[in-house]
Amino acid sequence: MVTVVAIGLIALSMSGDNETVELVGVIRAGDPMFDWYRGYLKLENPKIQMGKSFTGSRMVMFSATIRNGGEKMVDVVEVQLSLFNSDQLVWKTVRTPIRPEKSNYTPEIEPLEGRGFTLYMEEIPEKWHATNAEIDLYGFRFKSSEAK
């Protein structure tokens, strides 16, 4: 009986409910609104650390606080994570640490508020020599009644 329950829980956790929903209305570089509001949306105290996962493989942990110094509520924030060997880009990806969820796990960022986050990267390119990593603001969305 315990085995059946465990299999059921695993099946539920792997169902389509966890699929990433494409976000609409995200403002990115090149949009005049991005250039204007980026001055108010800051990544404070960025930290990048190397570590090992429970399986013993390398992983990189990115953390920061997103500070909303403007007057608009922000409900989505995208960041770009980049890995370099010296000054040569090896790999980059975009992650979304702040996004609407079914629960209030990651609520929007009110004006003059901040929200901390941590992202873990376990799939690291073999060719990266752990010499340099960066995190940067990539996109955001203002909270509106029609944003889902």
SS3 126: coil
- Residue 10 confidence (pLDDT) above 70: no
**Which residue spans within the chain are E strands per DSSP?**
27-28, 41-52, 58-68, 74-85, 88-98, 113-121, 132-142
Q: pTM value?
A: 0.80
pLDDT at position 56: 85
Q: Average pLDDT of 57-75?
A: 95
- C-beta of residue 110 within 8 angstroms of C-beta of residue 5: no
Q: Average pLDDT of 32-43?
A: 96
pLDDT at position 103: 57
What is the rounded distance in angstroms from the CA atom of residue 133 to the CA atom of residue 81?
A: 7
pLDDT at position 142: 95
- Residue 1 confidence (pLDDT) above 50: no
- Between 28-32, 69-73, 106-110, 132-136, the lowest mean confidence (pLDDT) is in 106-110
Ordered structural domains, the chain, with CATH: 20-142 (2.60.40)
pLDDT at position 144: 80
Backbone angles phi, psi at 17, to 5 degrees: -60, -25
Taking alpha carbons only, the member of 112, 103, 114 closest to residue 77 is 114
